[in-house]
Amino acid sequence: MPEERFQIGDYWLSQHNSPVYKATWYDASTGQTRRASLGTKDLHEAKKALAEYVLKQAQPKEQKAAEMPLGLIFYRYWESHAKNIASAEAAQYALALWTEFWEAATVADLTPPRQKDFMAWLKARGYKNSYVSRVMSVGRSAVRMAWKNGEITSAPFILDEPDRSDEKEPYVLKSQEMKRLLMKAQERPHIFIYCMIALNTLARPEAVLDLAPAQVNLVDKRINLNPKGRKQTKKYRPIVPITDTLLPFLHRADVPAFVLWNGKPIESVKKTFARTVSDAGLSSEITPYSLRHTMATELRRRSVPPWEVEGLLGHHRPSTTEKYAHFAPDYLSLGREAIDAYFAELALSYAVPKLDYVSAACQSPETKKPAEADFST
């Protein structure tokens, strides 16, 4: 009895006039069966190759749950969204875990019992509840995006891990630890500038790395952490005041960004930041995000009102009237003063590092003059 053919959606395996497996499908526009070589004679390898081929070729539209492979949803989510976000590396690893467990499953297989099996499988591998929750959130985002894009007719409910008590508290640096970090960071100018911007604005790492002269208003002493043309997301980027401590670092106008390595903007400081932390003899738990958590904690310790801290952190979206608040001279002034007081107490001496950048005369016309700053929102 011949073996049942292996098929994914409208594509199946065949060995037409050759031992090499081929992706095979019916082309309704020509009325012909078409084939594409998968380059292997091994059935197991051919099945994986067919899955990859389908992922690259398929353009799903309003698919029923039983017809839509989860692998296709994860692939499209990665290609259209996840690979471009700040947490791309973490998303990629989470998607790999989903793919490993679910294999050739479809959306219809996402039943609550099977999801619980997946969560148990993750825990059996040693992952903490808090990380299991993050992995589930990546799958949830992928399925929800497929539904929003009209690729599937409905999106099943994706479970979450309710007990996240094992999640680590964000690391908050003590004053002596901060002094050691900043003193060591001066040996790497781009890390030092990164630290100074992060500590004085409370911005998230990606916002610090994006910061360019076009976002800085030296007259009103304001920074719009959201570059012109960038759509605000749920991780809101606010307008924040420029502290006296940070002001000397922001006078360059002929650079594409303030955090540069070899004259170019960079996407991440994780590895070099970790080396700086290690060289300073500090805990490996200290990450770029620790700077934001430390300053938020410090401001509350200094009795800065919670609404000001929320404003600096971007946890509060301004109403229509509040959009004009940054024009007020006392805009987030208590937070600004507390940040300057914190640095005064650190009593550090430092020089503003020279930014490693090609001179304006050697730049192309497009990069000589930064775009106009937008402080309208």
Instruction: Provide the residue-wise pLDDT of the chain in tens; the chain has 377 residues.
Output: 456 788 877 889 999 888 999 999 988 888 899 999 999 999 988 888 887 787 777 677 888 888 888 988 998 899 889 988 878 889 999 999 999 999 889 999 999 999 999 999 999 999 999 999 999 999 999 999 999 999 999 999 999 988 877 777 889 999 999 999 999 999 999 999 999 999 999 999 999 999 999 999 999 999 999 999 998 888 899 999 999 999 999 998 889 999 999 989 998 999 999 999 999 999 999 999 999 999 999 999 999 999 999 999 998 777 655 666 666 757 889 999 999 999 999 998 877 877 655 433 333 333 333 333 444 44
Q: Give the C-alpha separation, 366 to 376, whole Å.
A: 24
Handedness of CA 325, 327, 333, 336 (dihedral sign): positive
Q: 59-167 adopts what CATH topology? A: DNA polymerase; domain 1 (1.10.150)
Rounded to 5 degrees, what angle do the CA atoms 165, 298, 304 make?
Answer: 110
**Each residue of 116-143: b (16+ CB within 10 Å) or e?**
eebbeebeeeebbbebbbbbbebbbbbb
Q: What is the DSSP letter of 173?
A: -
pLDDT of the residue at 143: 95
Is the Cβ–Cβ distance between 71 and 57 less than 8 Å?
no
Q: What's the rounded Cα separation, in Å, for the pair 209 and 267? A: 7
Q: Where are the domains of the chain?
A: 1-58, 59-167, 175-368
- Domain 59-167 matches domain 175-368 at the CATH topology level: no
Q: How is domain 175-368 classified at the architecture level of CATH? A: Orthogonal Bundle (1.10)
pTM metric for this prediction: 0.65
H or E segment and range at residue 33: strand 32-37
Residue 97 neighbours by CB under 8 Å, 6+ apart: 122, 135
Residues contacting 137, CB < 8 A, separation 6+: 160
Determine the Cα–Cα distance for residues 349 and 190; give it in Å rounded to an integer: 17
